[in-house]
């Protein structure tokens, strides 16, 4: 019985601590708006689906001199392999100023892609969980900053057989 009482006490403490940790807490931060991000993401879902493009459409659009192909992966992965002509801006560096420095106007057509658009090239394009694919937050973030002429590479392509041209240190043969 003596051993049971401490175990029950520890179990109650653990349950109480877990309950306290698991309850929502309101810690104000006017610079973070999770609910706004979730709402915008939900509102943009049908628009994003409508603006996903085929490989052929992506190639054709990228030829337009008024179009920016934007790669928001890390600088290291961009250096390894990227779509030829793509402009690099690491996702974590996106601000109003960094976007304005590389995109001439909020009406400029922007083509985006991410790791999950590619197969058979896991070193330069490591596969992420589908729910964490960089295309989704990139699309939402660009839209939130006022860049609404967005198009996203839709399919999964193999850099070695794709008609898309690539550049970088690990160009497929």
> What pLDDT, in 10s, does the model give residues 120-130?
999 999 999 99
Beta strands in 2-108 (DSSP E): 52-53, 67-71, 82-83, 87-88
- CATH superfamily of domain region 43-166: Rhodanese-like domain (3.40.250.10)
For 126, list phi and psi in degrees, rounded to 5: -65, 130
What per-residue confidence (pLDDT) applies to 23? 86
Q: Would you kindly state where each structural domain of the chain is located, as residue ranges? A: 43-166
Q: Is the pLDDT of residue 7 over 70?
A: no
Average pLDDT over residues 74-103: 97
Pairing status of strand 166-167 against strand 82-83: antiparallel
Cβ-count burial of 157 within 10 angstroms (0-12 exposed, 13-18 middle, 19+ buried)? buried
What per-residue confidence (pLDDT) applies to 8? 47
Alpha helices in 23-74 (DSSP H): 34-50, 55-62
Look at phi and psi of residue 80 and say left if phi exceeds 0, alpha if psi is from -120 to 50, else beta. alpha
Percent of the chain with pLDDT over 90: 82
Task: Tell me the C-alpha distance between 120 and 35, whole Å.
Answer: 36
For 23, list phi and psi in degrees, rounded to 5: -75, 140
Residues composing the chain? 173
Average pLDDT over residues 90-102: 97
CB atoms within 10 A of CB 25: 7
More confident residue, 30 or 1: 30
């Amino acid at each position: 019985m003596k051993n049971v009482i401490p175990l029950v006490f520890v179990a109650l403490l653990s349950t109480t601590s877990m309950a306290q940790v698991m309850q929502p807490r309101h810690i104000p931060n006017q610079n973070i708006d999770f609910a706004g991000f979730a709402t915008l993401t939900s509102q943009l879902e049908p628009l994003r689906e409508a603006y996903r493009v085929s490989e052929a459409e992506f190639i054709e659009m990228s030829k337009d001199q008024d179009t920016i192909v934007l790669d928001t992966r890390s600088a290291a992965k961009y250096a390894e392999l990227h779509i030829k002509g793509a402009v690099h801006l690491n996702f974590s560096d996106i601000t109003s100023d960094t976007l304005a420095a590389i995109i001439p106007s909020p009406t400029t057509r922007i083509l985006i892609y991410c790791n999950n658009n590619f197969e058979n090239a896991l070193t330069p394009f490591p596969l992420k969980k589908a729910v964490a694919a960089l295309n989704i937050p990139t699309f939402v973030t660009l839209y939130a900053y006022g860049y609404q002429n967005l198009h996203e590479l839709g399919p999964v392509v193999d850099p070695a057989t794709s008609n898309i041209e690539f550049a970088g240190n690990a160009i497929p043969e």
